[in-house]
Amino acid sequence: MTGHRDVVLRLWGRQLFERQGEPLAWAEGVLVATGRPPAAVVAALSGRLDALADFPSDRAWLLFRTVAKLAVNLQADGRYDADVGTRIGPLAVRLGELEPPLAGPLGDALGHPPDGPASLVTVHATELSGNRTMRLRAIDALLEWAELGHPQARAVLSEVACDHRTQDVTVWTKALNRIDLFGDPSVEPGLLRAVADTGHRGVRWSALACAELGFRRAVPLITALLEHPDPMVREGACQALGVLAEPAAIPALAARLNDETDWVRSRAALTLGRIGGDRALAVLWQAMRQRRHPKAGYLASAIAAFGPPVVDDLITLTTDPDPDLRALACRALGSTADDRALPVLERLAAHDLAGTTLGGLVATAAKQALRTAHRIRARTAST
């Protein structure tokens, strides 16, 4: 267990409880194994933790008190206290080392600790074929081990990621949410199959996982998902194309600026801003000038992402006869925090009292933009 001893014991202690069919009976067995007086065991199981102060403290006291607290929680609302549970394994092993006569009873009550991470990972891998509760626990534990760099856990997770049709979709998406911990080129064929399987409930996560790992062969498949009937999938496809910064997707993303769902429109705009370039900027300008949707602040934010090159054009837009466009220009200028924007925003905040379609004033939009600009500039100065 070199290098991972504390983690092994912590996970083992937690899983000791999770695998119990009769958790209170298990807790009672651990309490008895500490060698404390029977009256203390009765008090603990009765929930009378205050009464434990009447009993003398010894080296077993901390483990006893920890298990007693867990027993009280279980009797009160049936909930497992994860913080308490993770302490049981390390405390029991340490107590057995300090008090050799207790090592045997504790081993009988708890089971003997694993030899190391590999034995625990093997158990987790087996549990992936158990009931749903067990599968979810197993995938969480495997991700913990992958984060610690355990190669066996990473290999098991790679197998899960590559086989979307036989896996519980919740287990599978949990793994894909942390694809950065274990993903490598070996998972690409499986993830491409998953992206192509547009009827699968986890297709959104497969697109995002491909983007996270930079699998550019997935771009046509992800672009096709922009037409998916589920808005969550369309939004995820926009996000994935933004991560990949794929210019070829600009025409398809432009169409999503008129999506029926507002948050898909917003994600498409942000993705175009992230891709950058003249084509993406032209698409965003056109959409903002057309104003097909009243709430178009996301277009202003996306245009602001292009930085100094757009500032002069935004300043020009503040003179447009349309109050809505002037308000959007204010919002974008505030997000640029450019020196050229400040006097323009100050003038509009003082004098432009025209109303917008949404019921606000251009002056109000300018004031908000000034606050945004000052926050950005202050943050920049502090760093």
pLDDT digits (tens, 9 = 90+) for 240-250: 999 999 899 99
Distance of CA 209 to the CA centre of its chain: 13
Give the integer Cα–Cα distance in Å for 44 and 25: 13
Q: What pLDDT does 60 receive?
A: 87
Q: Which tokens sit at 310?
A: 């757009």
Q: What is the dihedral of CA 233, 236, 237, 243, to 10 degrees?
A: -170
Contact criterion met (CB below 8 Å) for 356 and 324:
yes
pLDDT tens digits, 251-307: 999 999 999 999 999 999 999 999 999 999 999 999 988 877 778 888 999 999 999
Torsions phi, psi for 240 (to 5 deg): -65, -40
Q: Residues near 188 by Cβ (< 8 Å), separated by ≥ 6?
A: 210, 213, 215, 217
Contact criterion met (CB below 8 Å) for 157 and 143:
yes
Buried b (16+ CB within 10 A) or exposed e, 337-346: bbeebbebbe
Give the integer Cα–Cα distance in Å for 307 and 303: 8
**What single DSSP character describes residue 198?**
T
Please state, in angstroms and as integers, the Cα–Cα distance from residue 199 to each residue in 38, 232, 248, following that order.
60, 13, 24
Assign 128 to helix, strand or coil. Answer: coil
- Residue range(s) occupied by CATH 1.25.10.10 in the chain: 307-383
Give me the mean pLDDT over the 346-357 stretch.
93
Q: What pLDDT does 1 receive?
A: 39
Distance of CA 273 to the CA centre of its chain: 23
Distance of CA 8 to the CA centre of its chain: 24
- Mean pLDDT computed over every residue of the chain: 88
State the CATH architecture for 307-383.
Answer: Alpha Horseshoe (1.25)
Q: Which tokens sit at 379?
A: 């943050």
**Count of other CB atoms within 10 angstroms of residue 265:** 24
Give the integer Cα–Cα distance in Å for 17 and 187: 34
pLDDT tens digits, 127-151: 888 888 888 888 988 898 888 788 8
Q: What pLDDT does 4 receive?
A: 61
Q: How confident is the model at residue 228 (pLDDT cuts 50, 70, 90)?
A: very high
Contact criterion met (CB below 8 Å) for 259 and 265:
yes
pLDDT tens digits, 51-90: 888 787 888 888 888 888 888 887 776 666 666 777 887 8
Contact criterion met (CB below 8 Å) for 16 and 92:
no
The upper half-sphere exposure of residue 254, i.e. CA atoms within 13 Å in the direction of its Cβ, equals: 16
